[in-house]
Chain A
Amino acid sequence: MIQIRWHGRGGQGAITAAKIFATAAFKSGYAGVVMAPTFGTERRGAPVFTSLKLSEEKIYDISPIETPDVVVVLDHLILTEVDVAAGLKPGGLVVLNTPKPLSAHDFGGARLAAADVTALSVEAGLPQGRVNSGIIGVLCRAFDAVPFDLVLAEIEAEFKTKKPQANVQAAKLAYEKTIVRGA
């Protein structure tokens, strides 16, 4: 079972990002997909998180994940408010949108994959602050669980009325510019 926790702010699109990745994962052959958003406390701007479980088999346990393999962080400013690495498995992966160099971030022994998704998304033609397609590019670069072309197709489908090509471009740019630290 693969467990991915997505951290963002209410309204930032973490749920949509997780749903895009989940749908691509399902289409690539994971029969078990369960995505559970933070329950009941969604407010625009407040830190929220979403649990995603992937498995070859149907998943029966829909309780929230406690020991993620990967945490995806849509906004580096959340790091001062939330311990995003809580419960992260040894050797786990942090996927981070940050304008800072990798050396500015320390998550103990965890691997770190980062890109300035905010800037790259604007470069791709998206409005300021739309980072949820770009962050998937960073994830795919460092975490080889779902074929990137399937994910791109899903991004295009999800945003079919909202600049699909710019969203795809943001994911591609972020994929290319991602820097990974750790084994």
Chain B
Amino acid sequence: MHIIEDGNVAAAMGVKLAGAQVIAAYPITPQTPLTEKLSEFVESGELRAQYIPVESEHSALAACIAAGSAGARAFTATSANGLLYMHEQIQWAAGARLPIVMCVVNRAVGAPWCIWNDHQDSISQRDTGWIQMYACDHQQIIDGVLKAFALAEAVSIPVMVCYDGYLLSHTYMPFEVPEEEKVARFLPPFEPSYALDPESPANLNTVTLPDVRMDVTGEMAHGYMEIRYLLQEDLRAALEVAQEIEDRFKEVFGRGGDALLEPYRCDDAEHIVVGLGSLTYQLRDVVEILRNEGHRVGVLGVRLYRPFPDEALAAALQHAAGVIVIEKAVSYGYEGALCSDLKAALLAHRTDGGRPPAVKGMIAGIGGRDIRTADLTDALRAHITGTPVEGPGWIGLKLYDSFQDEAPPQGTSRASARGRGRERE
């Protein structure tokens, strides 16, 4: 059945269908109506789960870690500074190998306060050991939540399902609601490989020495380094598991297909645009416009950002002359993180003697700045035709030149005031 609802409802319906047993969430800003919807499902009895309203995002994930350790299917959701406040527990959940699923409704992080969309929040959690999936529409949100639980439980690694704040979370569009009997086939109840048991007490994740040693039963046990190596190895192997789960999903539901990348008109493309989330769907329209002008352009959406699909990405891009990465986040002091990751992948997997395509990084939509299709088209056209462009390559940026002629406002150093576009003179 198709319904028209917003992205938060799509996510909440996915969590309900997945039969989450424990939901812990902090209900205040920057939280979204997603957890409100879940509390309604629990209140009405449609979802038989423990709903724990906690006093902070840090506690929300701590509660999920406890629930996961006890063998329950656990879910939480947050955004922006809420995600940052979880950071310690995010690392912990991955190290403890708990298959928690969290929706990250992507929003800008403060300062200054900004509730609108960009990807700085989830990208800043890139190195924590979580799997990160990015959705482009509501179908990918609701289906993605089901796939996320399946993947998390298959590899014992927590998963973030990231979707664009407002652009998807508060926008209404049609999507198909997965049928309950098919969900039951695709995602059986969670059978934890280990769960806390009062009859058989154990210490979990206590201080682990640098070297291996015998455990209490006299068996040789891994040290910290081995435990962390296995997390890394299992994350790398999760690339394949994610595709297997995607294939199984397609078998049961008849849609989906590519867990790692979503190419559009890339086969004969000279230039390929790469990005994350709903932006890559908007770029499909840009591709059509530019193709009508005679430019052979394609767009490649990265669906799974961690583990990074480096080999698949390099293979999908190697025939292109140029690659343009458009990102809604910056590794401040360098460039977009996806751009760096992609360049490394192209170098590592270049074919013998082959020259990797030239890569250009662009930034767009920071803090919810409108990403106009016309602006995207102009920026890409200028780049691929080699037209010199003024400015730093942030699409939609509106720097005011008058700023530098005035005395800097109190509390602002002259150097930082000068930093704003002085070199453009």
A interface residue numbers (CB < 8 A to B): 19, 22-23, 26, 31, 33-37, 39-40, 59-64, 66
Q: Is the CB of B4 within 8 A of A36?
A: no
Distance of A61 Cα from B286 Cα, bound (Å): 9
Query: Which of B116, B167, B174 makes the CB contact (< 8 A) with A26?
Result: B174
Q: Is the CB of A40 within 8 A of B282?
A: no
B418 at the interface (CB under 8 A from A): no
Q: Is the CB of B370 within 8 A of A63?
A: yes
B268 at the interface (CB under 8 A from A): no
A99 to chain B, nearest CB (A): 31
Contact bitstring B313-333, A, C-beta under 8 A = 1, else 0 = 000000000000000000000
B372 at the interface (CB under 8 A from A): yes
Q: Is the CB of B282 within 8 A of A60?
A: yes
Q: Is the CB of A34 within 8 A of B373?
A: no
CB-CB contacts below 8 Å: B165-195 with A: 166-168, 170-174
Distance of A63 Cα from B282 Cα, bound (Å): 8
Q: Is the CB of B281 within 8 A of A60?
A: yes
Q: Is the CB of A39 within 8 A of B368?
A: yes
Query: Which of A34, A39, A40, A64 makes the CB contact (< 8 A) with B173?
Result: A34
CB-CB under 8 A from A23, the residues of chain B are: 4
Q: Is the CB of A40 within 8 A of B116?
A: yes
Distance of A22 Cα from B172 Cα, bound (Å): 9
B115 to chain A, nearest CB (A): 5
Q: Is the CB of A60 within 8 A of B285?
A: yes
18 A-B interface contacts by CB (under 8 A): A19-B4, A22-B4, A22-B172, A31-B174, A33-B174, A39-B166, A40-B116, A59-B173, A60-B285, A61-B281, A61-B282, A61-B373, A62-B167, A62-B278, A62-B281, A62-B282, A63-B282, A63-B370
B212 at the interface (CB under 8 A from A): no
CB-CB under 8 A from B284, the residues of chain A are: 60-61
B371 at the interface (CB under 8 A from A): yes
B424 at the interface (CB under 8 A from A): no
- Chain A residue at minimum C-beta to C-beta distance from B280: A60
Distance of A22 Cα from B171 Cα, bound (Å): 12
B398 at the interface (CB under 8 A from A): no
**Closest 10 interchain pairs by CB?**
A35-B172, A60-B281, A39-B166, A61-B285, A36-B171, A60-B284, A61-B282, A23-B4, A34-B173, A26-B174
Query: Which of B2, B166, B171 makes the CB contact (< 8 A) with A34?
Result: B171
Q: Is the CB of B173 within 8 A of A35?
A: yes
Q: Is the CB of B285 within 8 A of A33?
A: no
Q: Is the CB of B282 within 8 A of A33?
A: no
Distance of A168 Cα from B166 Cα, bound (Å): 31
B116 to chain A, nearest CB (A): 6
A93 to chain B, nearest CB (A): 22
Distance of A61 Cα from B373 Cα, bound (Å): 8
Query: Which of A31, A39, A63 makes the CB contact (< 8 A) with B371?
Result: A63
Q: Is the CB of B282 within 8 A of A64?
A: no
Distance of A180 Cα from B373 Cα, bound (Å): 34
Point out which of B170, B173, B284, B370 has the most chain A C-beta atoms below 10 A from its C-beta: B173
- Chain B residue at minimum C-beta to C-beta distance from A22: B4
Q: Is the CB of A33 within 8 A of B4?
A: yes
Distance of A98 Cα from B116 Cα, bound (Å): 34
- Chain A residue at minimum C-beta to C-beta distance from B107: A40
Distance of A31 Cα from B166 Cα, bound (Å): 22
- Chain B residue at minimum C-beta to C-beta distance from A27: B2
Distance of A23 Cα from B370 Cα, bound (Å): 26
B30 to chain A, nearest CB (A): 11
Distance of A66 Cα from B372 Cα, bound (Å): 10
Query: Which of A19, A33, A63 makes the CB contact (< 8 A) with B372?
Result: A63
CB-CB under 8 A from B370, the residues of chain A are: 63-64
CB-CB under 8 A from B368, the residues of chain A are: 39-40
Point out which of B172, B282, B285, B370 has the most chain A C-beta atoms below 10 A from its C-beta: B172
Q: Is the CB of A39 within 8 A of B170?
A: yes
CB-CB under 8 A from B285, the residues of chain A are: 60-61
Q: Is the CB of A33 within 8 A of B173?
A: yes
- Chain A residue at minimum C-beta to C-beta distance from B167: A62
Distance of A150 Cα from B4 Cα, bound (Å): 15
CB-CB under 8 A from A36, the residues of chain B are: 166-167, 170-172
- Chain A residue at minimum C-beta to C-beta distance from B281: A60
CB-CB under 8 A from A64, the residues of chain B are: 370
CB-CB under 8 A from B174, the residues of chain A are: 26, 31, 33
CB-CB contacts below 8 Å: B346-391 with A: 368, 370-373
* A34-B167 in contact given A23-B4, A63-B371 (Cβ < 8 Å): no
Q: Is the CB of B2 within 8 A of A26?
A: yes
Q: Is the CB of A34 within 8 A of B172?
A: yes
Query: Which of B2, B4, B171, B372 makes the CB contact (< 8 A) with A62?
Result: B171
B8 to chain A, nearest CB (A): 12
Distance of A67 Cα from B180 Cα, bound (Å): 41
Distance of A26 Cα from B173 Cα, bound (Å): 9
CB-CB under 8 A from B2, the residues of chain A are: 26
- Chain B residue at minimum C-beta to C-beta distance from A42: B170
B36 to chain A, nearest CB (A): 15
Distance of A39 Cα from B4 Cα, bound (Å): 18
Contact bitstring B270-288, A, C-beta under 8 A = 1, else 0 = 0000000010011011000
- Chain B residue at minimum C-beta to C-beta distance from A52: B172
A50 to chain B, nearest CB (A): 9
